[in-house]
Amino acid sequence: MRKHFFSVIVPAYNSAGYIRKGLQSIRGQSFRDYELIVVCDACRDETAEIAREYADKTIITDHGLDGLARNAGLDAAEGKWILFMDDDDWFLHEFVFQQIAEKVTAVEMDILAFSFIWKGRGYTRQEPGRHFIAVWNKCWRRDFIGDTRFSNVPYWSDKDFNRGMYIRNPKVYYWDMPMYYYNYLREGSISWRKVQGEIE
């Protein structure tokens, strides 16, 4: 029996300067049946101290890879449904969890893919044929995930995880409802490091 409706997993890397906004967007939710898991991975700043102010579980790892940090969160998760948030992003309003909980309860599904706001590109709709490879714009049924885990490939672990999930023909519900802010190309982020050529 799962202890919570949601497990919210946040992999964090030296994010003391910006993670608080995202964690506040979680703690401000009207729907309270969730656990917040922050995985501080190879952090050398005050990220862990900030995480402990908000998180139900703060996990310290030293992988230096976002995929393996998410795996640590999955291994500790006790929720029926999994939500991911990157450490520099945030949920758009305080009713996000309530709306998602109502939708996944009303409709049989394994994955809920919702729309989001993409910094610099605006509203990004999710619908069949417009599948986005990130894991943070989806709600995942924990029992469907099973033993599937993220790879250790920098930048592409989202894509590998999605491939492993979608090859199993999940029931996917595409919801044209914005829930998440994607803070794209924040300096120092994985996307930024990819563009700068720091990650192959």
State percent of the chain over pLDDT 70. Answer: 92
Mind listing the pLDDT tens digit for each residue in 70-87? 999 999 999 999 999 999
Which pair of structure tokens corresponds to residue 21?
A: 């906004």
How confident is the model at residue 192, as a pLDDT? 40
- State yes or no: pLDDT of 193 exceeds 50: no
Count how many residues are written for the chain: 200
Kindly report the pTM of this predicted structure: 0.92
Mind listing the pLDDT tens digit for each residue in 30-60? 999 999 999 999 999 999 999 999 999 999 9
Q: CA 41 to CA 59: how far, in whole Å?
A: 8
Q: CA 69 to CA 99: how far, in whole Å?
A: 27
Phi and psi angles of residue 108, each rounded to the nearest 5 degrees, phi first: -70, 125
Which domains are assigned to the chain? Answer: 4-195 (3.90.550.10)
Long-range contacts of 189-198, Cβ-Cβ distance < 8 Å, separation of 24 or more? 189/86, 189/88, 190/66, 190/154, 190/155, 191/155, 194/155
Q: CA 167 to CA 150: how far, in whole Å?
A: 15
Give every CB contact of residue 13 below 8 A, 6+ residues apart in sequence: 40, 41, 42, 43, 47, 64, 66, 69, 87
